[in-house]
């Protein structure tokens, strides 16, 4: 997911729809808990999702 978001950003896409079957990851990212999560990739995903 992280690499896909980076690739989309590099190609100029600013609004993308992401699908995942990982409900826990989705809830962590959506709730903002990713900001304080110790897992580096989760924090990076949250950063990419929040980009303008």
- pTM equals 0.54
User: Could you tell me which residue, 43 or 15, shows the higher pLDDT?
Assistant: 15
Domain that holds residue 15: 2-49
Over range 23-51, report the average pLDDT. Answer: 75
H/E element, 46: helix 40-49
**CB-hemisphere CA count at 13 Å for 6?**
6
Over range 24-39, report the average pLDDT. Answer: 72
Domain total of the chain: 1
């Amino acid at each position: 997911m992280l690499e896909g978001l980076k690739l989309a950003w590099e190609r100029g896409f600013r609004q993308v729809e992401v699908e995942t079957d990982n409900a826990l990851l989705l809830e962590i990212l959506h709730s903002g808990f990713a900001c304080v999560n110790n897992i580096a990739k989760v924090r990076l995903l949250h950063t990419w999702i929040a980009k303008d």
